[in-house]
Amino acid sequence: MYLTREEEQVLKGEFGEGTQKALELLVAIGDAYDAEKMIPISRAHAASSGQEGDLYFVELLANGGTSCRVPTSTNPVYDLAYFDNLFDVPKDEGEVARRVMEAYKRVGAILSWSCVPYLAENIPLYGETVSFSESSATPYINSVIGATTNREAAQSALAAGVIGKTPKYGLHIKENRKGTVLVKVKAALNDEFDYSMLGYYVGKRVGYGIPVLTSIARQPSTEELINFCAMANVSGAISMFYVPGFTVEAATVGEAFQGDMPKDRVTVTDDELKRAYDELQTTSGRVDFVMLGCPHYTLRQVEEVARLLNGKKISKGVGFWVCTSATTKMLAERGGYVDTIKKAGGHVVVDTCIDEPCWIAYKGKVGMTDSPKCAYYRRFKEARVARLRDCVEAAVGRK
């Protein structure tokens, strides 16, 4: 890969060890993908987590004295003080989370601790070149916003944030943004849960590629798009998709395929989505807790939870959790939604991911969620996946 004189100096360690390690990683990735050179980015999002791998790399950079050159936001870990009071989080696990969060602060990241930073804390514009990790973020940035990013890891996105550059390969090249699979959607899509099922099915069916979705009758909402992105990039590796007419980059199916023919064709009917739904249920047993906000709930979703819980009580012994960002929680507090959820016996937590060791108390339990991603990464024993209103009903009636 071609390197500028300054990049060569960074690799020799002339700008400090942290910066050197960050560029070493990016150059190794660039070489692996035959990238011709590094290109500047304007922002990054590191899918941080309270786990050992993250700790190693972010401390390597922080201890090496480097810091972010472009705005770089962070994914949720967990609010140790909150969970330690309730669940007795093992000391070593808590210590990893604390050190990860401290190290991101030392490298000057935006401490968003949110998995939907593209809604509030770190929003790319159309046409920007960025480096975003996190399952919903990558396809959302490429498809809904029309900025360009590859499917990054926490480490490669953080390294890019520190260097302010990324190797030019993959989705940073126009020809690689070509649709590969034509997906005809005959299934009824009425709400964001249907979009979760669609994402789950399309991800599994397409695997690795760029689906072009047709026959979608109306503009999907923000939440529907977030859910499609998150699920398609977990059951599969979907970094980009098109809904011609509704996503920004291609107005027609022909433009999405850049004049080529699709490599494959898929039809999705109600039957496929029903089968996907059935596959996600690992139990029909009585619910021990409900977990919502994977990806982090938007303000509209938190409001919906409050509306459904208003005047009701969650059954004794049933945990009820809504994960969201600190920004959204602040607005939800202003609107009185957090208060309503608390009065019903629920928790609204910030900075927290469902895939963290803080949920230790639910290890052998039955969890219910509206998120196939949460069910997939579950830190509990069995999963029921259902629409939000059914999750609320189950928590109130302990079904």
35 three-class SS: coil
Q: Which stretch binds ligand F3S (CB under 6 A): 147-155, 267-275, 307-315, 347-355?
A: 347-355
DSSP 8-state code for residue 219: P
Q: What are φ and ψ of residue 322, in 5° steps? A: -120, 120
Kindly tell me the sign of the dihedral angle through the C-alpha atoms of 84, 87, 91, 92: negative
- Least distance (Å) from ligand F3S to the CB of residue 212? 24
- Least distance (Å) from ligand F3S to the CB of residue 389? 20
Residue 373 touches ligand F3S, criterion: CB under 6 A: yes
Residue 378 touches ligand F3S, criterion: CB under 6 A: no
- Least distance (Å) from ligand F3S to the CB of residue 49? 7
In the set 7, 59, 223, 355, which binds ligand F3S (CB under 6 A)? Answer: 355
In the set 100, 101, 216, 354, which binds ligand F3S (CB under 6 A)? Answer: 354
Number of residues that bind ligand F3S (CB under 6 A): 13
Residue 101 touches ligand F3S, criterion: CB under 6 A: no
Q: Provide the pairing of β-strand 131-132 with 181-185.
A: unpaired
Residue 141 touches ligand F3S, criterion: CB under 6 A: no
3-state helix, strand, coil in the chain (%, to 5): 45, 15, 40
Q: Which stretch binds ligand F3S (CB under 6 A): 80-88, 288-296, 309-317, 359-367?
A: 288-296
In the set 76, 199, 346, 367, which binds ligand F3S (CB under 6 A)? Answer: 76
Residue 348 touches ligand F3S, criterion: CB under 6 A: no
Length of the chain: 399
Residue whose CB is less far from ligand F3S, 129 or 131:
131
Q: Which stretch binds ligand F3S (CB under 6 A): 117-125, 169-177, 310-318, 350-358?
A: 350-358
**Rounded distance between C-alpha atoms, residue 363 and residue 165, angstroms:** 41
List alpha helices for 208-335, DSSP H.
222-235, 253-256, 270-280, 299-309, 326-334
Residue 295 touches ligand F3S, criterion: CB under 6 A: yes
Residues of span 229-248 touching ligand F3S by CB under 6 A = 230
Q: Which stretch binds ligand F3S (CB under 6 A): 15-23, 32-40, 195-203, 292-300?
A: 292-300
Residue 170 touches ligand F3S, criterion: CB under 6 A: no
34 three-class SS: coil
**Rounded distance between C-alpha atoms, residue 302 and residue 159, angstroms:** 33
CA distances from 56 to 97, 102, 157, 279 (A): 12, 13, 15, 36
Residue 377 touches ligand F3S, criterion: CB under 6 A: yes
| All residues at 6 or more sequence positions from 193 whose CB lies less than 8 Å from its CB, including other chains | 227, 370, 386, 387, 388
State the residues that interact with ligand F3S by CB under 6 A.
75-76, 115, 230, 294-296, 323, 353-355, 373, 377
